[in-house]
Structure 1
Amino acid sequence: ERFQIAGNRRNDYLIDRGAQKAFVGGLGWSGMPGRGQDNGMTESMGVVYKRDQEHLGVTDAGIIRMRRILARASLAFREDGTPPPGVDTPELYKVRSVSTLVPNGVNGIEATQDLQWAQLAEEQAASG
């Protein structure tokens, strides 16, 4: 539970129906803030979709690439026991996406470095 983001299945991903209807600001069409929107879309998809009925396009390049990575990793594990990428690097599970504005001329990666890593409540209390 301590690793779960605020918007989740139990609280309907903090959806704001009023904002959804009004298409308000950063909430966009979904009415869900931040990664709650990603979680809502991912977790509510249901059973695995039949891939032969999909119509992936150019904007789905990330999905296509990830499927290839997962397929290769699965085959390598089955064939010779090679662990999948990331299994031996648990610190990667703390990487988070960042959505923010930085002033012109400021390196966005450097400016958001501390936001890109999840912190446990204990770590946050110790650092601040």
Structure 2
Amino acid sequence: MFNINYKTTPGNSVAVVGSCKELGEWEHGAKMDWTVSNNWKIELDIKNMPFEYKYQIIDSTGRVLIWEATQNRMFLTNAIIDQSRSVTINDVWEQPSNTHVELKRKENVTGLKRANSKDWEIPSQ
């Protein structure tokens, strides 16, 4: 799941777009759902890793009004996905270094550590 907080004008929405098929291969973003307090979310089942992504503001017809003015965000590893039922990515508009990743585990997964703001790694046993 992707989450981001952004206040749009009425009729506009937030979309997430990226390098993989599920994120439109940089052509057509996935429109997110508005929730309380200007939070936007979407749940996607992304199969291919790694991938890059950004957020957009779109109008009611899907036309892009604003691209997030920052470097592409990257989700680099698939190791945590193999051991996790779901991953929630909480982002801050135009602040990739403030990304927070939450893991919902099937069972106890130990030894996960954050390598940097872009990826996670599992230490060797």
What TM-score comes out, normalization by structure 1 length?
Answer: 0.24
Larger helix share, 1 or 2? 1
Higher strand share: 2
For the pair shown, the structure with the greater C-alpha radius of gyration is 1
TM-score (norm 2): 0.24
